[in-house]
Chains A and B, each alone.
Chain A
Amino acid sequence: MSAPAIALGLALRNIRLHLRRSLITASGVAAGVAVLVFLWGFNDGTHEQMRRNLQELILGSLKIVPKGFLAHPTLDRAIADPAPIMQKLHALGARRVCARVRSFVLAASKSTSAGELLLGVDPACERRALRLASRIVQGRWLAGGRELVLGAGTAHELGVGAGDEIVLLATDRFGALAADRFRIVGVLGGEEEGVGKGLLLAPIASVRTLLSLPAPRVHEIFAVLPDEARTHEVEAALEKALPAGLDVLRWDEIAPVMRQWIEIDDGFMRVFLFIVLLVAAAGVGNTALVSAMERRREFALLAALGASRMLSMASVLAEAGLLAGAGVLGGAVLGLVAVKLAAIHGINLGEQMTTITRYYLDPVVRPRLAEGRLVETVLVMWLAAVLASVWAAVRAGRVRPAEGLRA
């Protein structure tokens, strides 16, 4: 029988001999891992929702704009010919690609005025690419002509609804004041920042007319990528392929607040992981220490029979590894079941948090673990528990044969 097999056999025998203690130790680890897996699932699920909703509702995964346009948008800075860029995006695997023109305008109803961002869009393309069209709660999506769709918050502030007309006032490309009357055909539901309030959507041709912007000029091209993980790769390929004078911006560069908030949230979870890790690992370390103390005569006998110190140490570590292994596996299964159940039934935060959708969160959160999260949590917890047992193993290795004669 090989030394590792003997060490494993001794560890298993000791676990059997102290079954209750072993079960309590493993249960402590399991409880910690289960809670961590669930909380990670909750965290990752909310982050996934925020990222996906932001990209699929309004922003896209990537945006191509004239250099510096987003910080300082002037009408004369435009992409003169969007077609080759859109073709390139298609070639890189993006299937949902649309072009827009944009300008701030003054929207005036009968009783008040408000500054708004006006997006000139291709109604059919946007319907395919984003989920905006499905958010209409009053009226319909854009078809063509001088039609307008706006958020419910904007409609409330202007005191208008589907069927009403408002005047849009802007400075056109030549610096002259331009105004046009638009009919509201649809109102979008939801409170998302930048969509619920402050946004108007109109067919691209009518906005070009208002701003004296000749076709095919556009101000931005966006793409929604089927696989978010490819965003950096597509961005790099575009930067190489596109002519100078254009910015390729990822969603998280356009909305750094969301990226940073996700990082802070993850940071907090890691601190919490550390706390749980420590307490659970101490449990295993403690058990290993007591076990090593109890088995001094056994280790002394092994030493007297010529076994190496490594065998005693390996036996203690194997016991800790097995206990922690059982704990993390049990905890992982429990945590996964909890994540799965919560994902199926959803956690309704919308009832308590009426403003939750402002941050692109759905009212019902569905936990979901990010790739690699489970493996990372399980491995870190197991490793910490085994490391916590090293001192116990060292003490077992130091037992001298003479100690076997005591008592």
Chain B
Amino acid sequence: MMLVRLALANLMLHPWRTGITAVALAIGIGALLFLSALNAGWQKQVQEGFAAMRTGDVQLRDPRFRAAEPLAGLIADADALAADLRARADVAAASPRIVVGGLASVARAQAAARIYGVDPVHEAEVTRLARFVRAGRWLAADDARACVIGKRLAKTLGVRLGDKLVLTALARDGELRAQLVRVRGMLDSGDLALDAHGVFVPIGFARAWLGAQGAATHIVVRAQRFEEARMLAARLGAATGLVAKSWDMLDPMAREWADFAEAYAWTMLAVVVLLVVAETLNTMMMSAEERVREFALLRALGLARTRLFGLVLVESVALVGLGLVLGIALGGVAVALAARYGMDLSRFAEALRYFYLDPIVRPVWRTNDALRIAAAATLGALVAGIWPAVRASRTRPVVALRGLV
């Protein structure tokens, strides 16, 4: 306790030096905490957004399914299977889909289309697509020849709500078949592929058109807990005999980018720790040089070398600790304010939405990040304190007499 009192007293003796160091550390730590919270918010959005928009948390397919022959490996009696899945405790929602490639055309224009036959009610429970219908409405249970199309696709074709368009695709019998549908809604999801090529039609209509009664190319599942998607996939695969893949197995893109962002955050943390070490070392070295006679006096009064070593180390940790407390408070306030009011990055809306990010950015506080930063800063303080502490502990008592005789 005496060491702590002495260390704090010395820090108070030099308020400017202590203040400058602590404030610099606080701003650095606070800013790092804020960036970590921003990163955490984005990672969560990218992964969940990707799954909720593109793949669902888990997809089930027939083992015979091949991308090049989507209507050959269908799941038979898909509606009943989806209902069974919905009854499970670890499944929040499940919906069958038929997905094929095709062409959407009007009188003077045509565009590539990715045609999704979906269950209007259950699809809205599994993915967020229905929420991104910005004009018109999502599909209704009793819709027949209706479709919701991507906003960019509508622009490419020059169609408006209520207009008709022709969809052409290869049916199960190997014949090219065309169908007329009416545009009921327009999707503005931010996902370039969905907005430029997505066409959503009722699954009943798609089944009749493509000759796939009662069947589905896959069943999309939303897990009760997003984090457990991989485990859920394994359980569903074993229970149904189908091939079950989680969102990151279907397309590793979102997880890879999240991992990259995490690695980048660690790099930044390492850099800031390096600077904390340099800054603290600098301050502590200056402090140790000034206090040679004080250390010598303490030695002459019988203070053991190890205690003197500890004194300087405690001072170093106390200095960084002060910066840390201020920094966490600063970062915490900044995160809370930004989370409450949101940071408007609409200027970059297209890029952000491309990665399933909301242009209004809200950082997410992660206590783990704060602990990680605190641990790293404390470690930095200890490392920075060792050298000055060793020098202090080597001070000989006779030095105290310098200038007095």
Q: Which residues of B contact A285 (CB under 8 A)?
A: 20
| CB within 8 Å for A260 and B276 given contacts A105-B103, A279-B28 | no
Which listed segment binds B: A28-36, A134-142, A215-223, A295-303? A28-36
- Residue-wise, chain B 241-271 has the 8 Å CB interface mask toward A (1 for contact) of 0000000000111001101100000011001
- Residue-wise, chain B 324-342 has the 8 Å CB interface mask toward A (1 for contact) of 0000000000000000000
Q: Which residues of B contact A76 (CB under 8 A)?
A: 108
Q: How far is the CA of A312 from the CA of B258 in the complex (A)?
A: 53
Closest residue of A by beta carbon distance from B284: A24
A228 at the interface (CB under 8 A from B): no
Q: Which residues of A contact B260 (CB under 8 A)?
A: 349, 352-353
Which residues of chain A from 1 to 58 have any CB-CB distance to chain B below 8 Å in the complex?
A: 18, 20-21, 24-25, 27-28, 31-32, 35, 39
What is the minimal beta-carbon distance from A160 to any residue of chain B, in angstroms? 8
Q: Which of A111, A117, A257 contacts B351 (CB 8 A)?
A: A257
Q: Which residues of A contact B27 (CB under 8 A)?
A: 275, 278-279
Asked whether A113 lies within 8 Å of B348 as measured between CB atoms, the reply is no
Closest residue of A by beta carbon distance from B22: A282
Q: Which residues of B contact A114 (CB under 8 A)?
A: 101-102, 112
Q: How far is the CA of A274 from the CA of B30 in the complex (A)?
A: 12
B69 at the interface (CB under 8 A from A): yes
B156 at the interface (CB under 8 A from A): yes
B274 at the interface (CB under 8 A from A): yes
Q: How far is the CA of A169 from the CA of B289 in the complex (A)?
A: 84
Closest residue of A by beta carbon distance from B171: A113
Q: Which residues of A contact B113 (CB under 8 A)?
A: 115
| CB within 8 Å for A279 and B25 given contacts A116-B112, A352-B259 | yes
Asked whether A71 lies within 8 Å of B155 as measured between CB atoms, the reply is yes
| CB within 8 Å for A111 and B69 given contacts A32-B275, A105-B103, A279-B272 | yes
Q: Which of A104, A271, A278, A353 contacts B112 (CB 8 A)?
A: A104
Q: How far is the CA of A275 from the CA of B279 in the complex (A)?
A: 13
- Residue-wise, chain A 259-270 has the 8 Å CB interface mask toward B (1 for contact) of 111011000100
A123 at the interface (CB under 8 A from B): no
Q: How far is the CA of A381 from the CA of B82 in the complex (A)?
A: 61
Residue of B68, B105, B274, B276 with highest tally of chain A CB at under 10 A: B68
| CB within 8 Å for A280 and B282 given contacts A106-B176, A113-B100 | no
| CB within 8 Å for A21 and B282 given contacts A157-B67, A275-B31 | yes
B107 at the interface (CB under 8 A from A): yes
Q: How far is the CA of A353 from the CA of B276 in the complex (A)?
A: 32
Closest residue of A by beta carbon distance from B108: A74
| CB within 8 Å for A20 and B285 given contacts A112-B170, A256-B350 | yes
Give the B interface residue count (CB, 8 A): 75
Asked whether B112 lies within 8 Å of A117 as measured between CB atoms, the reply is yes
Q: How far is the CA of A358 from the CA of B372 in the complex (A)?
A: 33
What is the minimal beta-carbon distance from B110 to any residue of chain A, in angstroms? 5
Q: Which residues of A contact B345 (CB under 8 A)?
A: 264
- Residue-wise, chain A 84-120 has the 8 Å CB interface mask toward B (1 for contact) of 0000000000000000000111101111111111000
Q: How far is the CA of A288 from the CA of B187 in the complex (A)?
A: 60
A198 at the interface (CB under 8 A from B): yes
Asked whether A283 lies within 8 Å of B278 as measured between CB atoms, the reply is yes
A346 at the interface (CB under 8 A from B): no
A287 at the interface (CB under 8 A from B): yes
Closest residue of A by beta carbon distance from B109: A74
B169 at the interface (CB under 8 A from A): yes
Give the A interface residue count (CB, 8 A): 74
Q: How far is the CA of A283 from the CA of B31 in the complex (A)?
A: 17
What is the minimal beta-carbon distance from B384 to any residue of chain A, in angstroms? 10
Asked whether B103 lies within 8 Å of A106 as measured between CB atoms, the reply is yes
Q: Which residues of A contact B104 (CB under 8 A)?
A: 115
Asked whether B168 lies within 8 Å of A106 as measured between CB atoms, the reply is yes
Closest residue of B by beta carbon distance from A264: B348
B17 at the interface (CB under 8 A from A): yes
Q: Which residues of A contact B348 (CB under 8 A)?
A: 260-261, 263-264
Q: How far is the CA of A31 from the CA of B277 in the complex (A)?
A: 11
Q: How far is the CA of A283 from the CA of B347 in the complex (A)?
A: 36
Q: Which residues of A contact B85 (CB under 8 A)?
A: none
Asked whether B109 lies within 8 Å of A72 as measured between CB atoms, the reply is yes
A75 at the interface (CB under 8 A from B): yes
| CB within 8 Å for A261 and B351 given contacts A74-B109, A286-B282, A290-B17 | yes
Q: Which of B17, B100, B276 contacts A286 (CB 8 A)?
A: B17
Q: Which residues of B contact A363 (CB under 8 A)?
A: none
B181 at the interface (CB under 8 A from A): no
| CB within 8 Å for A113 and B156 given contacts A31-B278, A276-B275 | no
Q: Which of A27, A171, A283 contacts B110 (CB 8 A)?
A: A171
B71 at the interface (CB under 8 A from A): yes
Q: How far is the CA of A358 from the CA of B254 in the complex (A)?
A: 12
What is the minimal beta-carbon distance from B113 to any residue of chain A, in angstroms? 5
Asked whether B252 lies within 8 Å of A355 as measured between CB atoms, the reply is yes
Q: Which residues of B contact A274 (CB under 8 A)?
A: 31
Asked whether B109 lies within 8 Å of A159 as measured between CB atoms, the reply is no
Closest residue of A by beta carbon distance from B72: A111
Q: How far is the CA of A276 from the CA of B268 in the complex (A)?
A: 10
Q: Which residues of B contact A110 (CB under 8 A)?
A: 174
14 A-B Cβ contacts within 8 A? A24-B281, A28-B278, A73-B109, A104-B156, A115-B112, A171-B108, A260-B350, A272-B268, A275-B28, A282-B20, A283-B275, A286-B282, A287-B282, A290-B290
Residues of A within 8 A of B (CB): 18, 20-21, 24-25, 27-28, 31-32, 35, 39, 71-76, 103-106, 108-117, 156-160, 169-171, 175, 193, 198, 256-261, 263-264, 268, 271-272, 274-276, 278-283, 285-287, 289-290, 349, 352-356, 358
